[in-house]
A and B are shown apart, each in its own frame.
Chain A
Amino acid sequence: MAKITIDNKQFECRDGISVLQAALDAGKNIPHYCYHPGLSVVASCRLCLMEMQMPHPKTQEMGWAPKLFPSCQTPVKEGMIVRFDSDAVRDNQKSCMEYFLIDHPLDCPVCDQAGECHLQDYSYEFGSSESRMVEQKHVTPKKDIGPKTLLYSDRCVMCTRCVRFTQEVSGTHELCVTNRGSRNEIDVFPGLPLDNPMQGNVVDLCPVGCLLDKDFLFKQRVWFLKSADSICPGCSTGCAIRVDQNEETVYRLKPRYNPDVNDWWMCDEGRFGSKYIHDPKRIASPHLRRGLERESANWEDLPEVVRYRFEQHVSLRGGDKVAVVLSPMMACEEAWLLIKFIRGVAPEATIATGFIPTDGEVQHFPAGCDAASAKFTIRPEKCPNRRGVEMIAEQAGGTTCDFDTFVTSAAGGAFSAAWIVGGYPSDWVSKEFGKAAAKFDLLVVQDMFENALTKLASVLLPACAWVERDGSFVNHAGKIQPFERAIRAPDGANRDGQYLFEIAGFEGVYSAERVRATMAMETAAFGEVLEAPLKPAHQH
């Protein structure tokens, strides 16, 4: 721990970091564009310059050096004395801002970045309200640099964060700087568009409105969006994300900083892959089958009906004929509540872990590196909570099995009643499983979209997307991460946690946190969850 003095105040800071990072950690608002803790330091934007005390070359007396130093490039050292609170520093910031805005088109009203733009923020805080530029502005073109991203080079501040990202994190080297001096532009090579599985991060990295998502383009003004802290369900990595919504519509997902899981990044598959949450074809109300007819049920009677049907079945056929399939799309709390109910009516019931969707190979980034040196990993297991439901099943004890064993024994007629949880974004029911499921007399299905299984269901419950629920996922490394609800369940549906809470025999409103506290009494692991740390307020 080094002790340094910033603006006459002593701060303790981590060793090996830059003065800029130490100042940001201390809560100071130091303007910076090119510095990003996840990328190499180039010290090119010159906004974070500071004054530093140095010994006079002749007298060895300590005094403020006449030259300004880039704080992002100066490592902290014990006893260092620096200041940002001086006229020289402020004059530099002001002049820098003036230069950044010389060719800026000032099209904030139609720019998607407006509201979260650091040109706006810094111009307001450190710049001047007028431009002295009387010459014609040099207008650089808008470029379509990839299938998902646009580059408005007239808004660019040449911080080169995006270029460094493609070189150092994604390792795909698509972006480059062309031309020199005031004619500098970010560009792609001819015929090689910006198209890698992590390219969406360049939009987050861009401190201004230069790089924009085509997916979010013109959809919303950012100040209308409300955020919820969530976890990406796209794969077993479990990246910390932020869900931005307005009026119950999710507009975008952004990564949150979590050094234990995803650092600052997320992949495009997670970022753009959840459009299914607003699919009108989703199952939105519970249904009960009476004879051949399927009719909609109401939520008040449902817990009683389900319990009655199971109890009756167990008393006729015995509890060992009952099975429950826990989907890896479920939250741990929901799986625990479901087990609680099943074990209550049939203590001998078999607990199976559900179908694990997989796709492709493990992808490490920078592209081509191995697992040990990877900065980011996309995993082929396309579900968020396999480890979680396995933990819950293991803790419940009794007969447990994996999905393939369950399908084989179900096809052999081992079970007559089953509660099967789906909740996958695509059709997941194989032909063999569909055939095996026809053998169940009592089948409760919890799913998002109609498939072969939902047609057979005696009780059909709508499964909600993860943004409509709250709970926790356990990622590939066994880290338990809680996520918040961002939007309400679609009209007619009820979030899974709530109805499972009622079916399990509890009363009142479901709260993932309270259920987790109860679970922690049985399994100590659930007492401690991994919350992503807050990043310094002025870092971006």
Chain B
Amino acid sequence: MIDDQDIIIVDEPELTATERLYLPQIIDGMRTTLRHMFKKTITLQYPEQKREQRIENYRGVHRLNRDEEGRVACVACFMCQTACPAHCIHIVGTESPWDDREKYPLQFDIDELRCIYCGMCEEACPVDAIELTPEYDLVGRTRDEMILDKEKLLEVFDRTVALKPRKNPKISGYAGTGDRDGCQSAGGGQ
């Protein structure tokens, strides 16, 4: 219950004679409208006209990067899935068919409808395999179509790589685990 002493009753202000006429207010409003009619327009006629794309930091549709040999760069470490606040990433990891890597994603699904485009996955990725692209006009007829699988995410990479090249293309450190002749761990950091 709210105490009576906490309630303040506010009366509606009395309108003056000019205010009751409404005309001054209408004229005032029309003046603002007219002023904007002669200013430079800031809206765009989307989709005929499109805004200049921000390449570097735009958080649009995800892509899965390919390495130099065209294979998926992801090592299925599940860091993005762990970091994702919307739980929209689903990975199935398995032993990789390549000698230079332990693990790779058999399945990699992102539910683009569930995603909140926060970019945490990109931050979490230790091999820069997942990135958000400047692409924002993602459409689909069904909900299923909006769940992008590994192939579709790699297609996004192929589509956008010319526009936005891979940040740190070289992966190392997760490669030669347990391999006598394999490459050494990256850097000296722990």
Contacts and interface: CB of A to CB of B under 8 A. Distances in A.
A and B pair up: yes
Given A110-B174, A139-B180, A133 B102 contact: no
Contacts of B95: 217-218
Interface string A215-246: 00111010110000000000000000000000
B76 A107 contact: no
A106 B190 contact: yes
A131 interface: yes
B79 interface: yes
Nearest to A221: B78
B93 A218 contact: yes
Interface of B is mostly: loop
Contacts of B190: 101, 104, 106, 123, 127-131
B103 A110 contact: yes
A246 to B, nearest CB: 11
Nearest to B190: A131
A78 B25 CA distance: 93
Contacts of B103: 110, 218
Contact of B185 (A109, A132, A137, A143): A137
Interface string A133-161: 11011011111000000001110000000
B30 to A, nearest CB: 61
A105 interface: yes
B177 A223 contact: no
Nearest to B127: A109
B76 A110 contact: yes
Contacts of A221: 77-78, 81-82
Nearest to B180: A141
A303 to B, nearest CB: 39
Contacts of B102: 107, 110
A152 B78 contact: no
Interface residues of A, number: 33
Contacts of B53: none
B126 A140 contact: no
B77 A106 contact: no
A130 B188 CA distance: 8
Given A110-B103, A137-B184, A142 B93 contact: no
A133 B188 CA distance: 6
Given A131-B188, A217-B95, A109 B75 contact: yes
B173 A107 contact: yes
Question: How large, as a class, is the contact surface on chain B?
Answer: 20 to 34
Contacts of B184: 136-137, 139
A358 B173 CA distance: 50
A140 B180 contact: yes
B176 interface: yes
A153 B76 contact: no
B174 A141 contact: no
B179 interface: yes
A218 B185 CA distance: 21
Interface in B129-169: none
Nearest to A114: B77
Given A136-B184, A142-B178, A154-B177, A131 B189 contact: yes
Interface string B111-141: 0000000000000001100000000000000
B179 A109 contact: no
A106 B185 contact: yes
Nearest to B182: A139
B94 interface: yes
A110 B78 CA distance: 9
A142 B179 contact: yes
B82 A110 contact: no
Contact of B173 (A106, A127, A141): A106
B77 A110 contact: yes
A224 B179 CA distance: 28
Contacts of B94: 218
A127 B190 CA distance: 10
B185 A105 contact: yes
B177 A109 contact: no
A223 B78 CA distance: 10
B75 A110 contact: yes
Contacts of B81: 221
Nearest to A129: B190
A101 B189 CA distance: 10
Interface string B60-99: 0000000000000001111101100000000001110000
A105 B182 CA distance: 11
Interface in B4-46: none
B179 A141 contact: yes
B130 to A, nearest CB: 13
Contacts of A153: 178
Nearest to A131: B190
A121 B125 CA distance: 21
B188 A107 contact: no
30 contacts: A105-B173, A105-B178, A106-B173, A106-B189, A107-B102, A107-B174, A109-B127, A109-B174, A110-B174, A110-B177, A127-B190, A128-B190, A129-B190, A130-B188, A136-B184, A137-B184, A139-B178, A139-B180, A140-B178, A140-B180, A141-B178, A142-B178, A152-B177, A154-B178, A218-B94, A218-B103, A221-B77, A221-B78, A223-B82, A224-B78
What 6 A-B pairs come out closest when comparing CB atoms? Answer: A142-B178, A109-B77, A221-B78, A141-B180, A107-B177, A110-B103
Interface of B: 75-79, 81-82, 93-95, 102-103, 126-127, 173-174, 176-180, 182, 184-185, 188-190
Given A127-B190, A221-B77, 5 more contacts: A105-B176, A107-B102, A139-B182, A139-B184, A142-B178
